[in-house]
Amino acid sequence: MAPQSRPVPVLLTRPQAQGDRFATDLITRFGPTLAPVPSPLIAPAFLHPAIPQQPYTAIILTSETAAASAAAIPNLPRHAYCVGDRTAAAARAAGFTPHSAKGDANALIALILSTQDQGPFLHLRGADSRGDIAATLTDAGRPTHAAITYDQRPQPLSLEARTLLAGETPVLLPLFSPRTAEILASQGPFAAPLWLAALSPAVAAAAAHLHPARSAIAAEPNADALLTAIATLL
C-alpha cells in the first residue's frame, strides 16, 4: 500500500450500528491510513404486519435488521436460515438458532433446498428487496410466505459528507447494497473523485451513475472481502 500524506476519508453510509462496526474493522485493518466519516443513508423503521398463521418450521432472515424485527414477533419457530454470518449472529442474539448460508440470497436458497426441511417457511424481509426468495422456494416445492417487517428510510447526507463530496480529495466509498448506492446517487452529482468498493456486482451496477474514478468488487459478499477490495483501491 502506498503511503498517504494524510488519511483518506471513508464515507460510511450504512445504518449507524453497522457503520460503527465497519469503522472499527477499517481502523483495525488499515490504521491511520483511513479516516472514517459516518453518514448513514438509511435508517430502519420496524413495521407490524399481520403474519399468516401457518405451522412454520423455520424463519428466513436476509439481514441483521430482519433478525432484530423477529425478536418482537411472538410464536415464531426458533430455527432461522440466515444469509450470512453477521445475520446469524444477530439472530442468535435475538434468541434464535441460526444456520448461516455464508453468502448471498442464492446461497441461502441453495442451503434451504439442500436440507430435508419441507417448510413451510416465513421470510421476514424489508420493504425494499431484490429478488423474491419466497416465490423461488415455493416454486421449488418448499412453501414460503413473506412478511415485510421493516423499512429502510432514506436519510440525507451529513454536512461533513457533503463537504467532502464537494471537494477535490478522493473519497473512499464502501457500499453494501444497491439501495444505498441509488440513494447516494440521487443526492449527487459529486465533484470529489470516488474510490468505490462494492460488496457485489449488483452493488457496483447500481453505483455506476456515481462514475467512480477507481472501483473494486469484493470477491465474496462479506465485510472481510470488502476490506480486501479496499486494499486494492489504496
Task: Answer yes or no: is pLDDT of 97 > 50.
Answer: yes
Task: Answer yes or no: is pLDDT of 4 > 70.
Answer: no
CATH topology classification for 44-152? Rossmann fold (3.40.50)
Tell me the whole-structure pTM to 2 decimals: 0.76
Segment 189-213 mean pLDDT: 94
Residue 140 cell numbers, joined:
421449488
Beta bridge partners of 10: 36, 172
Secondary structure (DSSP) of 69-133: HHTTSTT--SEEEESSHHHHHHHHHTT-EEEE-SS-HHHHHHHHHTSS----EEEEEESS-SS-H
Q: Where are the domains of the chain?
A: 8-41+155-233, 44-152
Beta bridge partners of 151: 45
Task: Answer yes or no: is pLDDT of 53 > 50.
Answer: yes
Strand order in the sheet with 42-46: 42-46, 144-154, 121-126, 58-61, 79-82, 97-100
- The tens digit of pLDDT for each residue in 65-96 reads 999 999 989 999 999 999 988 899 999 999 99
Task: Answer yes or no: is pLDDT of 215 > 70.
Answer: yes
Q: 1 or 170: which carries more pLDDT confidence?
A: 170
Give me the pLDDT at residue 162, please: 96
Separation between Cα atoms, residue 170 and residue 165, nearest integer Å: 8
- Per-residue pLDDT band at 1 (split at 50, 70, 90): very low
Contact between 158 and 182 (Cβ < 8 Å): no
Task: Answer yes or no: is pLDDT of 5 > 70.
Answer: no
Segment 184-200 mean pLDDT: 95
- The tens digit of pLDDT for each residue in 138-175 reads 999 999 999 999 998 999 999 999 999 999 999 999 99
What element of type H or E holds 34?
Answer: strand 34-38
Domain 8-41+155-233 has CATH 3.40.50.10090: yes
Average pLDDT score, the chain: 92
Distance from the Cα of residue 224 to its chain's centroid: 13
> How many residues does the structure list for the chain?
234
- Per-residue pLDDT band at 98 (split at 50, 70, 90): very high
CATH topology of 8-41+155-233 equal to that of 44-152? yes
- Cβ count near 224 (within 10 Å): 13
